[in-house]
Amino acid sequence: MEFKSVVGWRRSIRFFDPWREVEREKIQTILEAIYRAPRVLEIDFVRVVVVLRDELSADEMQTLKTPTTTAQLDMAPVYIFFFADLEAIEPACRGDNFRQLINMGVLNPSHGWTEEFAVGTAGQYIRTILDDEDRVPLRLPVGGDSATQIVSREALRLARTAIGIAQEYALLAAVDEGLGAQLSGVNVGAARGILGFPDTWVPSSPMLLGYHGETIEAGGQRPREPFEEDFFELRYGHPFYREPAVVDRLKAAEMIQDPAPFSWRMDEVRGLARKFGLPD
Under the binding rule (CB under 8 A), the answer on residue 38 touching other proteins is yes
Q: 48 vs 188, which CB is nearer to other proteins? A: 48
Under the binding rule (CB under 8 A), the answer on residue 201 touching other proteins is yes
CA 231 to chain centre: 22
How far apart are the C-alpha atoms of 89 and 151, rounded to whole Å?
12
| Residues 85 and 47: beta-carbon distance below 8 Å | yes
Neighbours of 209 (CB within 10 A): 26
At closest approach, how far in Å is the CB of 191 from other proteins? 10
Q: What are the strands, taking DSSP E only, across 165-215?
A: 180-183, 201-203, 207-210
Contacts with other proteins, 202-241, as mask; x by CB under 8 A: --xx------------xxxxxxxx-x-xxxxxxxxx--x-
Of 85-144, binders to other proteins (CB under 8 A) are 100-101, 103-112, 117, 121-122, 125, 134, 136
Under the binding rule (CB under 8 A), the answer on residue 279 touching other proteins is yes
How far apart are the C-alpha atoms of 267 and 272, rounded to whole Å?
9
C-alpha distance from residue 49 to each of 83, 113, 149, 261 (Å): 8, 34, 22, 34
At closest approach, how far in Å is the CB of 155 from other proteins? 9
The Cα angle at residue 56 between residues 51 and 62, in degrees rounded to 5: 110
At closest approach, how far in Å is the CB of 37 from other proteins? 7
From 21, 22, 31, 127, residue interacting with other proteins (rule: CB under 8 A):
31
How far apart are the C-alpha atoms of 219 and 209, rounded to whole Å?
19
Contacts with other proteins, 65-84, as mask; x by CB under 8 A: x-xx-xxx-xx------x--
Under the binding rule (CB under 8 A), the answer on residue 43 touching other proteins is no
Q: 141 vs 270, which CB is nearer to other proteins? A: 270
Q: 145 vs 246, which CB is nearer to other proteins? A: 246
